[in-house]
Amino acid sequence: MINQTLLDNAAKKFREHFGKPHTIAAYAPGRVEILGNHTDYNEGFVLSAAINMGAVFLASPSNNTTCRLIAGDITEETSFDISAVNRSEKNLWQNYVAGVLASLREHGKINTGFNGIFFGNVPLGAGLSSSAALEMAAGLAFCALYGINIDKLTLAKIGQRAEHEYAGAKCGLLDQISSLYGKANNLVMTDFRSLAVQNIPMDSNACFLMCNTNVKHRLVDGEYNERREKCEMAAKFFASELSHPVSALRDVSWEEYTKLSSVMDPVTAKRAAHVIGENTRVLKGKELLAKKDLCAFGQLMYESHESSRTNFENSCKELDFVVSQAKHIPGVLGARLSGGGFGGSVVILIHPRDAETAGKTLTAIYKKEFGMPCDIRIITPSDGATVL
C-alpha cells in the first residue's frame, strides 16, 4: 500500500534534480515482528507483517557510467562510477543501495550508470526495518532497470548480504522476507530453515499499534552481533551433548534445554532459553491465530517480552515501561518489543475500537515518565514490495 504523496513527492524531486522524469519506480514496505525474536538466524520461526510504511526508489538509466544517488529525505547526494561500487564510510545510507547493486552484478550485466532517488516514511531506528525497505525497493528498481530476473528469496539474500558486508549488521533474513512476502491483512509466517513462507489471515477483531520509544541504542550492531555469536556457541554446546544432529538452536527442544542448562555457561544458557522459548511460542501462536484466540496469542506476546527482558537482555527501561503500562489499558491483548531490541518500538495487539484512546493514554504517560515523546501509530499488515 504505497502512500501516493510519497511517490508524487519523489517523482517531483526526481524531475527537479535530474531534469527529466524517472523511468522506473519500485516500492518496498518496512516490517513489524509480531512474534519470534532473534529466531531467524537460529533457523527458527517468526510471525511478522509488512507494514503500511516503506521506501520508494525511482531511477532512470544514464548515458555514461556515472551513478548519481540522492537520499531524498535528507537531501544528500553521492556519485560513483559503476565500476567502483564500494562501501562508503561517509554516507552510511549509500551502503544499503551499493551493497545490493554489488551483489546484483553476479546475476546480470550492470555496466552503465543510473540516476536514482529514494524517499521513505519508515521512522529510522524504530525497529521497523527502514533499511530493508530501502534495500528491497532499490533491488527491485535495479532489476527492472538492468533487465535482471531473480526470485524473491534471492533478492532477500542480496539485501541481507548488503547488511552483513556493507552495513556491518549480521542480521537474519526476517526484514527482507517480510518486506517481499507481505500481504494486505495477513501476517507472514516464515520457517527460516526451509525458507517456506506462508501468509496467515489476520483476525479483523484486532489491530496493531506501534509505540516508538525514540530510544536508539548507540552500540546496537555490536550488541546484535554479540547475541548472535552466543546463540551459535549455544548450538555448538548442544551439538556436542545431544545424540541427534544440532546445526542451530532450532534443533533443541525446551525439554533438552532444561536438562542441560545447569551445566552451561549461564549467559549462553539465558540466550538459548530465549530463542528456544520463542520458537515454541511462534508455533503455538500460529495455532492460536487459526483458532481466533487472540487473548491467548496476546499472552504469548507478553511472555516473549519478558524473555527478552530477562533472558536475551535486549530490552531497555523505556520498552519495559510501555509493555507494563499497556497491560492496564482497556482493549490491549498483548505487547512486546519488536525487532532487534535495545530501543526501538513496542508492538501492541489491541481491539480496533480501543486503539485510538489507548494511543493517547500511552503518549501521555510516556511523556510524563521520561519527559520526551513516544510516537504511536496504527500499523496495518500490508502488501509486499513491488515494481510500480
Collapsed DSSP state (helix, strand, coil) of residue 194: coil
Nearer to ligand GLA, 37 or 315 (CB): 37
Check binding of 38 to ligand GLA (CB under 6 A). yes
Q: How many CA atoms lie within 13 A of 243 on its CB side?
A: 0
Write the binding mask 82 to 121 for ligand GLA: x where contact by CB under 6 A, - elsewhere: ----------------------------------------
Asked whether 256 and 239 are in contact (CB, 8 A), the reply is: no
Task: Decide if 221 is catalytic.
Answer: no
Stretch that binds ligand GLA, among 62-70, 141-149, 168-176, 196-204 (CB under 6 A): 168-176
Beta carbon of residue 359, minimum distance to ligand GLA (angstroms, whole number): 23
User: How far, in whole angstroms, is CA 56 from its chain's centroid?
Assistant: 17
Distance CA 14, CA 70 (A): 9
Among 29, 40, 80, 281, binds ligand GLA (CB under 6 A): 40
Question: What's the grid cell of residue 197?
Answer: 513462507
Q: What do you get for the CA distance between the two ends of the chain, in Å?
A: 11
Check binding of 383 to ligand GLA (CB under 6 A). no
Check binding of 37 to ligand GLA (CB under 6 A). yes
Stretch that binds ligand GLA, among 52-60, 170-178, 200-208, 369-377 (CB under 6 A): 170-178
The amino acid present at 308, given as its one-letter code, is S
Distance CA 323, CA 320 (A): 5
* Number of chain positions touching ligand GLA (CB under 6 A): 12
Helix ranges restricted to H, 65-173 = 92-104, 130-146, 152-161
Strands, E, within the chain: which ranges? Answer: 24-35, 45-61, 66-71, 76-81, 114-120, 186-191, 196-201, 207-212, 332-338, 345-350, 375-379, 386-387
Stretch that binds ligand GLA, among 70-78, 116-124, 150-158, 166-174 (CB under 6 A): 166-174
Asked whether 332 and 348 are in contact (CB, 8 A), the reply is: yes
Check binding of 340 to ligand GLA (CB under 6 A). yes
Nearer to ligand GLA, 2 or 177 (CB): 177
Beta carbon of residue 381, minimum distance to ligand GLA (angstroms, whole number): 17
> Which one from 175, 191, 251, 265 is the annotated catalytic residue?
175
Nearer to ligand GLA, 133 or 329 (CB): 133
How far is the CA of 193 from the CAs of 40, 133, 338, in angstroms?
8, 23, 21
What is the DSSP pairing of strand 45-61 with strand 186-191?
antiparallel
Which DSSP category does 218 fall into?
A: T
Beta carbon of residue 249, minimum distance to ligand GLA (angstroms, whole number): 13
Footprint of ligand GLA on 204-223 (CB under 6 A): none
Q: What are phi and psi of 337, to 5 degrees?
A: -70, 150
Among 33, 43, 318, 383, binds ligand GLA (CB under 6 A): 33
Beta carbon of residue 228, minimum distance to ligand GLA (angstroms, whole number): 8
The amino acid present at 347, given as its one-letter code, is V
Stretch that binds ligand GLA, among 78-86, 167-175, 199-207, 255-263 (CB under 6 A): 167-175
Nearer to ligand GLA, 213 or 361 (CB): 213
Among 29, 116, 123, 172, binds ligand GLA (CB under 6 A): 172
Check binding of 339 to ligand GLA (CB under 6 A). yes
- State the helix-helix crossing angle for 92-104 and 130-146, rounded to 10 degrees: 40
Beta carbon of residue 231, minimum distance to ligand GLA (angstroms, whole number): 10
Distance CA 377, CA 293 (A): 24
Asked whether 372 and 214 are in contact (CB, 8 A), the reply is: yes
Stretch that binds ligand GLA, among 38-46, 114-122, 300-308, 371-379 (CB under 6 A): 38-46
Check binding of 174 to ligand GLA (CB under 6 A). yes
Check binding of 171 to ligand GLA (CB under 6 A). yes
Distance CA 256, CA 258 (A): 6
Stretch that binds ligand GLA, among 36-44, 51-59, 181-189, 320-328 (CB under 6 A): 36-44
Q: What are phi and psi of 4, to 5 degrees?
A: -60, -35
Distance CA 250, CA 202 (A): 26
Residues making contact with ligand GLA (CB under 6 A): 33, 37-38, 40-41, 129, 171-172, 174-175, 339-340
Query: Which residues are the active-site residues?
Result: 175
